[in-house]
Amino acid sequence: MDTSRRKLLGLAMTAPFTGALLSARPSASTAGATSNAAARERIRQRFFPNVVLRNQDNQKFRFYDDIVKDRVVTINFFFAKCEDICPLVTSNLAKVQKVLGDRVGRDIFMNSISLKPEQDTPGQLKAFSKMHHAGPGWNFFTGKPADIELLRRSLGFTNPDPRLDQDTNQHIGNVRYGNERLMLWAACPGMADAHFIAESIAWVIRND
């Protein structure tokens, strides 16, 4: 398995296959560029509210314009004082960052958003980020509680049971990953094997 896993990782990280191989098969029909642009716009409207967030350095970011647009990203929710699995997910993501190396900040941008923005000031986030040795390309965000709630719901970090939905711990196990330009979105568990998470993220780095 290991060999094929590395092979697939390598395959996903290189340019997609074109030329001779593609011409050997029947040609694919294509959808109009307009409808694809419209689909991307619908996704933006429905799932990516352009709310203002602040990172651990107190820099201002708009969620769509500055965080997800044209990028390959990971998005997860956490809060600094969470004593259950948040620290485990964050330390696992730190491992993921290590596996991905300098691609983070270049090809991939990692984003962790606080579910308790009142407590998690940029200063708190800075300390949390340092504690977990988060490198460049991995931002920790806070913002207005209503904006963060809107973001959480828009991105589907919810539970259909209203009581469980109130429990912040129910929303911290997931890591969304996606390529905004290519409209490729999926998710993996924050507690999954760090190498497998890194491999999954690499699936959406494509040039097609």
Partner 1 sequence: MYYNVYGEKVSRARFKGMLNAAKNRRELIAAGLTSRRDLWKMGLLTAAGTLAAKNGLSAQSTGSFNLCAVGNQAASPPTPAFVEPLPIMPQMQPVPSLSPAHTLAPNTAAGEVRSANDQAFTQFPPQLLYNVTQKALQVSMSPGLPTQTVWGFDDSNGHATSPGPTYKATYGVPQLTRNWNGLPPASQNGGFGMPSVTTHLHNAHNPSESDGNPCDFYDQGHFADQHYPNVLAGFSSTNPPNGDVNEALSTLWYHDHRVDFTSQNTYKGLVGFYLLFNQFDTGDETTGFHLPSYPQFDIPLVFHDKVFDPSSGQLFFDLFTLDGILGDKFLVNGKVQPFLEVQPRRYRFRLLDTGPSRFYEYFLTDLNNLSAQNPFWVIANDGNLLPVPIQVQSVRIGVAERVDIIIDFRPFAGKTVYLENRLRQINGQGPVPPQGFLPGQVECSDANGNVLSDIMPAGGGNLLLQFRVSGTAVQDNSVDPATQPRFYQLPSTNAQPRITRTFKFDRLNGQWSVNGAFMDCSRFRFQVQQNSVENFILVNATGDWTHPVHIHLEEHQILSRNRAAPTLAIENSRKDVTQLHPNERVLLFFRFRDWLGKYPIHCHNVVHEDHAMMGLWHVQPEGDTVLTP
Site for partner 1 in 16-45 (CB under 8 A): 16-18, 21-22, 24-31, 33, 35-36, 38-40, 42-43
| 109: contact with partner 1 by CB under 8 A | no
Stretch that binds partner 1, among 57-65, 122-130, 132-140, 189-197 (CB under 8 A): 189-197
> Distance of CA 110 to CAs 106, 138, 139, Å?
11, 4, 6
- What mask, x for binding partner 1 by CB under 8 A, covers residues 137 to 166? -----------------xxxxxxxxxxx--
| 119: contact with partner 1 by CB under 8 A | no
| 186: contact with partner 1 by CB under 8 A | yes
Residue 56 is classified by DSSP as T
Q: Which is nearer to partner 1, 92 or 129 (CB)?
A: 92
**Between β-strands 108-114 and 138-143, what pairing exists: parallel, antiparallel or unpaired?**
parallel
**Positive or negative: CA dihedral 66, 70, 73, 78:** positive
Q: C-beta of 59: minimal distance to partner 1 in Å?
A: 26
* Furthest CA-CA distance within the chain: 59
For the chain, the first-to-last Cα distance in angstroms comes to 27
Distance between CA 153 and CA 115 in Å, rounded? Answer: 12
Q: Identify the residue among 55, 74, 92, 111 touching partner 1 (CB under 8 A).
A: 92
Stretch that binds partner 1, among 53-61, 112-120, 137-145, 197-205 (CB under 8 A): 197-205
- # binding residues, partner 1 (CB under 8 A): 76
Distance between CA 125 and CA 56 in Å, rounded? Answer: 5
